[in-house]
Amino acid sequence: MSPEPDARAKTITANVALNLSGTPLRAEITVPTHVFELRQLLPTVRSLSEAIIGEAVKADASNGFSVSCRSGCGACCRQLVPIAEVEARLIRDMVEEWPEPRRSRVLARFAEARRRLEEAGLLERLQHCETVSDDELVPVALDYFTQGIPCPFLEDESCSIYEERPVVCREYLVTSPAENCTRPTAESVRRVTLAAKVSTVLTRMGRDPATELTRWVPLILAMEWADEHPDDLPQRTGPEWLREFFQRLTGKIIPPPRAPEKEKPRRRPAR
Ligand code: SF4
């Protein structure tokens, strides 16, 4: 990463050239130099995720595996969707700002999903699994899927918040026949393998770098989770957020960006 500070514009541009397990990633990223909340970095994070996904899709296509996901196929939207806390708060705020009757319609779907989770004895398990590991998550996810609870944003089997959907939803692409997703098994569903999962990085952003624990929220409980958990994520400058993001993405230590050079005082011309 080679940052180029531009003190006048109060932004900084980083030219990123990475090799993620053999997958190249090149991007030019411009961020503000002042401190801001992680949610303001989301457009950048999403586009980096799309770049990684794009490379993986290209690699699969060149090996004869084409993505079979289509609009109108919402089988994966009945799975447990683990999102980052910053995304949970974004979803809560987005829904709260929607005009009626859209807002009430979606809130009713969240309430119905909660009722079904409670009835199935899954609600409490989901309310206390923010920091469980991927392995511990598997049995919960399997039990969840058997309930067939649609995501509250699924309308006519399509995502109604497509542009704002969480990163983990963007990352879920398959190359096996679409109908296999209704009864997915490790053998019947072939997922596009990504060089790095930005969704996992996002669940760790702003938290203690010493811990590798993720902190995620089940999308189905995003509304109540966001209400119960005030935003305690730190604010950082653009370069600090980017440094943390790429450190977590690559697992490598990245030196702090250079501070902008101070302008040298001009010499007075001799009289
Ligand atoms: S947010 Fe959209 S893509 Fe993600 S699970 Fe819900 S409906 Fe599906």
Q: If DSSP codes are grouped into helix, strand and coil, which group holds residue 89?
A: helix
pLDDT per position as a tens digit, 105-148: 999 999 999 999 999 999 998 988 776 777 777 888 899 999 99
Is the distance from the beta carbon of residue 90 to the nearest atom of ligand 1 less than 6 Å? Answer: no
Is the distance from the beta carbon of residue 78 to the nearest atom of ligand 1 less than 6 Å? Answer: no
Residue 150 alpha carbon to ligand 1 centre in Å: 9
Q: Which residue has the least CA distance to atom 2 on ligand 1? A: 159
Q: How far is CA 202 from CA 38, 136, 240, in A?
A: 9, 19, 14
| Mean pLDDT value of segment 244-256 | 89
- 266 falls within a domain: no
Reported in sequence order, the residue ranges of the chain that DSSP labels E, i.e. its strands, are 2-6, 11-20, 23-32, 35-36, 82-84, 154-155, 158-159, 216-218, 236-237
Query: Does residue 2 register a pLDDT over 70?
Result: no
Strands of 23-32's sheet, edge to edge?
A: 2-6, 11-20, 23-32
Q: How is residue 223 written in tokens? A: 């509304």
| Domain limits for position 89 | 2-250
Q: What's the number of domains the chain is made of?
A: 1
Q: Could you identify the residue written with the tokens 């992680």? A: 38
pLDDT per position as a tens digit, 156-188: 999 999 999 999 999 999 999 888 888 888 889
Query: Does residue 255 register a pLDDT over 90?
Result: no
Is the distance from the beta carbon of residue 94 to the nearest atom of ligand 1 less than 6 Å? Answer: no
- 99 falls within a domain: yes
Residue 34 alpha carbon to ligand 1 centre in Å: 33
Residue 23 pLDDT level (bands cut at 50, 70, 90): confident
Cα 137 versus chain centre, distance: 18
Is the distance from the beta carbon of residue 169 to the nearest atom of ligand 1 less than 6 Å? Answer: yes
| Mean pLDDT value of segment 94-105 | 98
Higher pLDDT pick, 257 / 174: 174
- 37 falls within a domain: yes
Could you tell me if residue 155 is left (phi over 0), alpha (psi between -120 and 50 degrees) or otherwise beta? beta
Query: Does residue 209 register a pLDDT over 80?
Result: no
Select from 187, 238, 61, 241 the least CA-distant residue to 53. 61
Q: Supply the pLDDT for residue 187.
A: 87
Q: Supply the pLDDT for residue 9.
A: 55
pLDDT per position as a tens digit, 223-232: 999 999 999 9
Q: Supply the pLDDT for residue 135.
A: 77
Q: Supply the pLDDT for residue 184.
A: 82
Q: Supply the pLDDT for residue 145.
A: 93
Q: What is the phi/psi pair of residue 243, to 5°?
A: -60, -45
Residue 168 alpha carbon to ligand 1 centre in Å: 9
pLDDT per position as a tens digit, 27-75: 999 999 999 999 999 999 999 999 999 999 999 999 999 999 988 888 8
- 260 falls within a domain: no
Under 8 Å between Cβ of 111 and 181: no
In this structure, the number of other CB atoms found within 10 A of the CB of residue 159 comes to 16
Q: What is the distance between the alpha carbons of residues 72 and 101, in angstroms, rounded to a whole number?
A: 23
- Report how many helices (DSSP H) and strands (DSSP E) the chain contains, helices first: 9, 9
Counting from 1 in the atom list of ligand 1, the atom nearest the Cα of 165 is 1
Is the distance from the beta carbon of residue 153 to the nearest atom of ligand 1 less than 6 Å? Answer: yes
Question: Residue 17 pairs with which residues in a beta bridge?
Answer: 26
- 268 falls within a domain: no
Q: If DSSP codes are grouped into helix, strand and coil, which group holds residue 131?
A: coil
Q: What is the distance between the alpha carbons of residues 157 and 164, in angstroms, rounded to a whole number?
A: 17
Q: What is the distance between the alpha carbons of residues 30 and 14, in angstroms, rounded to a whole number?
A: 6
Under 8 Å between Cβ of 14 and 28: yes
- 29 falls within a domain: yes
Q: Supply the pLDDT for residue 73.
A: 87
**Which of the residue ranges 15-19, 123-127, 137-141, 263-267 would you say has the lowest mean pLDDT?**
263-267
Is the distance from the beta carbon of residue 161 to the nearest atom of ligand 1 less than 6 Å? Answer: yes
Q: Which residue has the least CA distance to atom 5 on ligand 1? A: 77
Residue 84 alpha carbon to ligand 1 centre in Å: 14
- 47 falls within a domain: yes
- 62 falls within a domain: yes
Q: What is the distance between the alpha carbons of residues 236 and 207, in angstroms, rounded to a whole number?
A: 12
Q: Supply the pLDDT for residue 259.
A: 64
